[in-house]
């Protein structure tokens, strides 16, 4: 029995993403807010993306579209964490594999199999064990919107890879152009925006929660 080569990279990416929840809780203690952390994450990532990606690769319609999808996902998830709470938002985010099955089939004909559907449902059921509550319809809708927007980001990234867009260009495009939707929401989420927690939380998420893990995960899904 051997594990696929991509499994190790995805484990590393998941471990790095797993530190996000810890960092966010510590950032909250320093006055940070969900939206503030997302804002600085996008801002710092956008600055870095200019150095890691060629300017010509960033100034395309595909790059802008991917970045806007990423920004919409960051915002929906940040709001869902506030509205649903951490355990429920985390569990509903992982309705994403179900949406990825549908999007990937529609965009590039990836097969939908019984195994994948069963495993997707198993993940959702397993994460429900961390929540064990009864959410309202609106809470479910926001959570499912997080899962669907996350799935859209994954599926469109993979679709662009089939169009010869490189891994680092994908990371750069997401980082730079996600600033558009995230920046537009500033007037609505000012609380905690200028706190130390939001700034260091955003810097942590930029490096440990965005650039490094997305590189590992994008490389695997290619």
Partner 1 sequence: MDSTIATIISALEPVFTTLLAYPILGQYLTPPEILGAILILVSSIWLGIDRRT
Residues in touch with partner 1 (CB under 8 A): 1-4, 6-7, 10-11, 13-15, 17-22, 25-26, 90-91, 94, 96-97, 100-101, 104, 110, 112, 115-116, 119-120, 122-123, 125-130, 132, 151, 154-155, 158, 217, 220-221
Closer CB to partner 1, residue 26 or residue 52? Answer: 26
For residue 178, give both structure tokens. Answer: 């996600």
Closer CB to partner 1, residue 89 or residue 175? Answer: 89
Cβ 218 to partner 1 shortest distance, Å: 10
Crossing angle for the helix pair 212-221 and 167-177, nearest 10 degrees?
130
Instruction: Please state the separation of Cα 88 from the chain's center in Å.
Output: 16
Closer CB to partner 1, residue 136 or residue 162? Answer: 162
Cβ 105 to partner 1 shortest distance, Å: 9
For residue 119, give both structure tokens. Answer: 């495993």
CA nearest to 39, candidates 208, 154, 197:
197
Rounded CA-CA distance 87/82 in Å is: 11
Closer CB to partner 1, residue 112 or residue 138? Answer: 112
Cβ-proximal residues to 106 (8 Å cutoff; 6+ apart), any chain? none
Closer CB to partner 1, residue 59 or residue 122? Answer: 122
Cβ 157 to partner 1 shortest distance, Å: 9
User: Are the C-beta atoms of residues 201 and 32 closer than 8 Å to each other?
Assistant: yes
Cβ 127 to partner 1 shortest distance, Å: 6
């Amino acid at each position: 029995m051997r594990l696929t080569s991509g499994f190790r990279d995805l484990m590393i990416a998941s471990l790095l993403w797993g530190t996000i929840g810890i960092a966010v809780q510590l950032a909250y203690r320093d006055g940070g807010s969900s939206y503030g952390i997302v804002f600085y994450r996008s801002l710092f990532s956008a600055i870095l993306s200019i150095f890691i990606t060629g300017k010509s690769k960033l100034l395309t319609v595909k790059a802008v579209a991917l970045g806007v999808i990423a920004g919409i996902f960051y915002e929906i998830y940040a709001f869902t964490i506030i509205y649903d709470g951490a355990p429920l938002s985390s569990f509903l985010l992982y309705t994403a594999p179900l949406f990825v099955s549908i999007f990937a089939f529609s965009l590039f004909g990836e097969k939908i199999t019984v195994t994948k559907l069963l495993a997707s449902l198993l993940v959702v059921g397993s994460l429900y064990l961390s929540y064990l509550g009864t959410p309202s319809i609106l809470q479910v809708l926001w959570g499912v919107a997080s899962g669907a927007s996350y799935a859209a980001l994954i599926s469109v990234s993979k679709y662009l890879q089939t169009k010869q867009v490189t891994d680092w260009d994908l990371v750069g495009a997401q980082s730079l152009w996600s600033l558009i939707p995230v920046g537009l929401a500033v007037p609505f989420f000012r609380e905690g925006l200028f706190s130390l927690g939001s700034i260091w939380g955003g810097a942590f998420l930029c490096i440990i929660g965005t650039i490094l893990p997305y590189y590992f995960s994008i490389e695997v899904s290619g």
